[in-house]
Amino acid sequence: MLLGTAGLLLLAWSFLDGTYYQYAQRVQFEQQVVSPEVAGVNTGIAKTIALPETRPQPEVPFQLLPNPPKLLEPDPLLIGELDVPRVRLSVMVREGLAATTLRRAVGHVPSTALPGELGNFVVLAHRDTFFRRLRELEKGDTVRMVTARGHFTYTVESLVVVEPEGISLTAPPSEAIATLITCFPFNYVGPAPRRFVATARLAEGVLTDAGGIASPKHAQAPDRGRR
């Protein structure tokens, strides 16, 4: 009973830790990044907007003000937000594959491309947490990736189930693709034996720091100094 209780408490703590990390980092990230609609996906022009000023608050004696809750500090390893609208998946992506990262976010494989770059942008997460909704994914679905340097839209082209050793992290140097990986089967009890792999191709993007449109024909070459 003690071991079972300890296990349940550990599971609850992991869930709450991941949920709080996602909330805190999303709040801070969205304050810094312009949405794709405002940035000009439809017009092809990256724009900068002024955020509305905070409405003045009435003065209250200092002693009556509660201490506001402090969010986590902005994470220097945060890459951006991954969104798959049709399956209602929205999650923050963090650099690396450490246990702490995969407990709190989707992890980016460090040796692979970044969003919008030529090559293979590879991310993975647990099937029973952040990538649970990948079971609903279909070919043709839109995968969006929002980062500090731009907004990138991918289209899902293939969905396969492979053995762990059958996963490829490379892509032709002239192509820009994204690969989402999680364990399979989704309802398997214990360590799942296979991997679910979704591959998507870059369709369009907006570079918010350099202007202009990134497309499959002129996607950005890798620049590791920008991470």
CA distance 111 to 66: 45
CB 113 within 8 A of CB 95: no
CB 41 within 8 A of CB 206: yes
Cis peptide before 185 (omega within 30 of 0): yes
Token pair 């690396």 is found at 96
- Is residue 183 flagged as an active site residue? yes
Per DSSP bridges, beta strands 106-108 and 89-95 are parallel
- Is residue 108 flagged as an active site residue? no
CA distance 169 to 152: 19
Q: Which of the following is catalytic: 108, 151, 183, 218?
A: 183
> Could you give phi then psi for residue 94, rounded to 5 degrees?
-125, 150
Where on the phi/psi map is residue 101: left (φ > 0), alpha (ψ -120 to 50), or beta? alpha
CA distance 226 to 223: 6
Q: Which of the following is catalytic: 108, 126, 151, 218?
A: 126
Among residues 131, 129, 132, 141, the alpha carbon closest in space to that of 86 is found at: 141
User: Catalytic residue positions?
Assistant: 126, 183
